Amino acid sequence: MLAQVSTATVLGVEAVPVRVEVDVAHGLPGLTIVGLAGGAVLEARERVRSAIRNSGFEVPPRRITVNLAPADLPKEGTAYDLAIAIGILAASGQLPHADGLSTSALLGELALDGGIRRLPGALALVDAARAAGLSEAIVARDAVGEAAAVRGIAVVGAATLREVIGHVSRTALLPVADPAPIPDVVPSDAPDLTEVIGQSVARRALEVALAGRHHCFLEGPPGTGKTLLLRAARGLLPPLDEGEAAEVSRIYSVAGLLDRAAPVRRERPVREPHHTVSAQALVGGGPRVRPGEASLAHRGLLILDELRHFRADALDALRQPLEAGSVTVARVEGAVTLPAAFQLLAAANACPCGWLRSDRRLCTCDDGAARRYAMRISGPLRDRIDLWVTMEQPASLLSEIDGRVPSRVVARRIAAARDRQLERQGLLNADVAAGRLLADDWLGRRAVHTLVREGERLLLSPRRLHRAARVARTIADLEGSVAADPAHVLEALHYRPGIDR
């Protein structure tokens, strides 16, 4: 007799549905699992046998074949235990009324006593089941909180295999969990912009960067407020919208970083890895591909303070996500693409002592050392930075107290500018395709003319011009202009990388 049960497994940060097909036939007694099953999956045989027996049922002494489909997808982990167990029981006729099985996803690992353990990435798995058109997901009881964050599918928590059996044979229905509430946005604990002294240019650049998801780099001597500005940035972004929240929650679910008490995220993720981070930890990877900091900062901020102290291979690995918004990790079995549409905010000293090109103090670095230090931000990485700000220590600590705009005002302007972009093109300006950038209806005829003419005079590369076009559009959006002015373009060009000497 044949039975089919649905489950799902995690691949990269995405979950994919898996069909578990169980055939019980005459022949030599045994349990065979096929379909590119890895070591942990094969061990499911022993767990499933014990769990079934200890739940008061039996594994029929016949030839049992379990196929995990699609069969070409390599499978790892313990995600299939519950589905295999129920499939065996159904195929051996021990679940006579299990009509609900065709629309349920079974997501749990079995203990030998028949208990059900939670799977990592429960939220992502349930979401995959929903996307596959299933109407119900049965998960471990302690995973209900996380799983219930997914809407559009009934989430049922079960503690034991017996409970699941009762539920699917409609003898003892388990309650459907309430959907997890969408939490209020918690006020940010980020420092306020008013704490930064002076630095009007850096503030302005940061506002523009956040308004259009442009990558921004602050360079300057110590004590200019670089780090403080980066910290203040986390308090300036609007909360995640529903779609973004689902994407981010899936990634965090797979990474095991979801707050179980509040699985739905509203705050934009902010990741601030230390400069000793490895390339793999930064962009993801590993034998079982795990999301790195770049993916954990998806739809949020990746803050890299002291950018020039990061490992060269780690910075190199950032090139792809900076350009494409995703990371492709190649494996023998195939490539996995991790979402990584983060916004880079970085800061660094210009030289080892920090005072290169400052008017306030003398740089004490050897010229060669200073050059090598500058080159730690490679050409390709520099090319991908949209706004490059050279900072200087304020002349007076008391300067410009009146001119400082508080974070909440700036945050409002940023949110308004983002709304304008989403309304116009459904994307933030940073994500607009290059082909559209120089079209008259996007930037404006006069602005394009200025961009091309002045860009040529300043000997800028086409890539730099494209980046400036996006930044100029954002500056115009901050002002609420329909078309960008030449002045907006010129300001965008101001934030080009400085001289490398």
Residues in the site for another protein, rule: CB under 8 A? Answer: 198-201, 203-204, 220, 356-363, 367, 390-392, 394-395, 399-400, 403, 454, 457-461, 475, 486-491, 493-496, 498-501
Cα Rg of the chain (Å, integer): 27
Looking at the chain, the number of H-run helices and the number of E-run strands are 20, 16
Is the separation of the CB atoms in 114 and 51 below 8 Å?
yes
Q: Which is nearer to another protein, 360 or 436 (CB)?
A: 360
- CB of residue 204 to another protein, shortest distance in Å: 4
Q: Which of 164, 177, 175 is nearest to 100 (CA)?
A: 164
Based on the number of CB atoms within 10 Å of its own CB, is 468 exposed (0-12), middle (13-18) or buried (19 or more)? Answer: buried
- CB of residue 235 to another protein, shortest distance in Å: 20
- CB of residue 415 to another protein, shortest distance in Å: 19
Tokens of 52: 């079934």
- CB of residue 422 to another protein, shortest distance in Å: 23
Q: Which is nearer to another protein, 77 or 394 (CB)?
A: 394
Q: Which is nearer to another protein, 101 or 374 (CB)?
A: 374
Give the torsion sign (CA, 166, 169, 172, 175). Answer: positive
**Residue 338 DSSP SS3:** strand
Q: Which is nearer to another protein, 87 or 198 (CB)?
A: 198
Q: Which is nearer to another protein, 316 or 392 (CB)?
A: 392
Q: Which is nearer to another protein, 376 or 494 (CB)?
A: 494
Strands 387-390 and 216-219: parallel
- CB of residue 456 to another protein, shortest distance in Å: 9
Is the separation of the CB atoms in 33 and 45 below 8 Å?
yes
Strands 30-34 and 63-69: parallel
- CB of residue 207 to another protein, shortest distance in Å: 10
Q: Which is nearer to another protein, 245 or 346 (CB)?
A: 346
Distance CA 421, CA 409 (A): 19
CA angle 189, 193, 198 (to 5 degrees): 150
Distance CA 392, CA 357 (A): 9
- CB of residue 200 to another protein, shortest distance in Å: 4
